[in-house]
Homo-oligomer: A and B are copies of this chain.
Amino acid sequence: MALDSASQNQRRSDAPEVVVARLPQYVRILTRLLQEGAEVVSSQQLGEKLQVTPAQIRKDLSYFGRFGKQGRGYSVIHLLERLKLILGLNSFWNVAVVGVGRLGRAILSYPGFTPDGFHIVAAFDSNPDVVGETIAGLTVSSLEELDEVVSSKKISIAIVAVPTEHTQGVVDRLVACGVRAVLNYAPISPQVREGVRVRNIDPVLSLQSMTYYLTDHPVD
């Protein structure tokens, strides 16, 4: 008794969502450390880079197993590998972008998704003038092809950048096609059935949560 399967198993169920949300940051720092040639890193050093306490890092990791060595720290390459596995980043996810407007184009030409585990393999727009256009090597498809392409390309993640009023409808269609995670840029929070994940990116809310702390008056 005592030493059971915890260390070789991911224990997916019982890690709090806040903890899971911090893991990608650990992955990012570790990736950088690996590139810089670091072989080991302590929770202390990691904490300094991330501005969190070393205890929090150790506690977070302990939800998933035991990855460190006392007196030494963590093997950068090994911990990175394990975290990617836990997050499902050991191979690539195919992603669709829906809405090829100003923002959608910036997203399509952003090179930062690929090194971090995401391949943008399809783009959709409802505007016939946009359909057929090629951006960053990808030809924009029409919405009619959505179901077919999502299935054939095994797309389970979508980035949605369409006008607010079309967002819920687009998300509904995507979910019906089998998409299980949505990154939404419109200033609403689309409703989805249980089991589908949504993250919203909303610069206005971010700005408004800062002005509270700007004690002097805004310009008038």
Contact = CB atoms under 8 A, between A and B. Distances in A.
Interface stretch (A54-62, A66-74, A198-206): A198-206
Interface string A155-191: 0110100000000000000000000110100010100
A18 to B, nearest CB: 10
Taking each of A12, A91, A117, A218, which has the highest tally of chain B beta carbons within 10 Å of its own beta carbon?
A218
State the number of copies, please: 2
Interface in A79-131: 86-95, 102-103, 105-107, 109-110, 112-113, 116-118
18 contacts: A27-B208, A87-B208, A88-B211, A88-B214, A89-B208, A92-B218, A93-B218, A94-B218, A95-B207, A102-B105, A102-B109, A102-B110, A103-B106, A113-B203, A113-B204, A116-B204, A197-B214, A199-B209
Tell me if A's interface is mostly helix, strand, loop or mixed: mixed
